[in-house]
Amino acid sequence: MNILVLNGPNLNLLGSRESNIYGEESLNVIEKKLLKLAEDNSFSVNFFQSNAEHELINCIHNSKENNISAIIFNPAAFTHTSIALRDALLAVKIPFYEVHISDINSREEFRKKSFFSDIAEKVFTGKGTNGYLLALEEIIKNN
């Protein structure tokens, strides 16, 4: 089973970006942990991060032909703005798990609105970078 881990804008800066909110771990370290967990369970995992909305949309579209069965997605700031990304996920009909490192419900008012939560299989918010691993464990458990 192939899983895609998709990360939105500014998450390439994890580790140095607002570490009081997002922690000290780089995206590379998180991806290595996910790869190990996936491989230990005979799952295959692909990673993509972009700061551009259209690149994330294209990656979701390509997921169909790349035989992706589940997506772990942190849309970052696009969480609160992007109907286009929501529509892309609905179009490909691939189940996805929404991850937020910080707790979007206990920050600024504008972060409380997610265009993804009502169509996600499950939402992991405020679990730190461990949220990605929890999402992968959930996929492994269900497949």
Give catalytic residues, as residue numbers. 22, 100
Interface pick for ligand DQA out of 71, 73, 100, 124 (rule CB under 6 A): 100
How distant is the alpha carbon of residue 84 from its chain centre?
16
- Residue placing its CB nearer to ligand DQA in the complex, 79 or 82: 79
Interface pick for ligand DQA out of 89, 96, 102, 136 (rule CB under 6 A): 102
CB 101 to ligand DQA: min, Å? 4
Q: Dihedral through CA 84, CA 89, CA 90, CA 94, nearest 10?
A: 170
CB 67 to ligand DQA: min, Å? 27
Applying CB under 6 A, the span of 30-38, 50-58, 100-108, 116-124 interacting with ligand DQA comes to 100-108
Applying CB under 6 A, the span of 24-32, 34-42, 43-51, 75-83 interacting with ligand DQA comes to 75-83
Interface pick for ligand DQA out of 49, 63, 74, 82 (rule CB under 6 A): 74
Residue by residue, DSSP assigns 90-130 as HHHT--EEEEESS-GGGS-GGGS--SSGGGSSEEEESSTTH
**Strand-pair category, 96-100 with 44-49:** unpaired
83: DSSP letter: H
Nearest C-alpha neighbor of 101 from the set 80, 122, 132: 132
Q: CB count, 10 Å around CB of 33?
A: 15
Residues that bind ligand DQA (CB under 6 A): 10, 74, 76-77, 79, 100-102, 104, 111
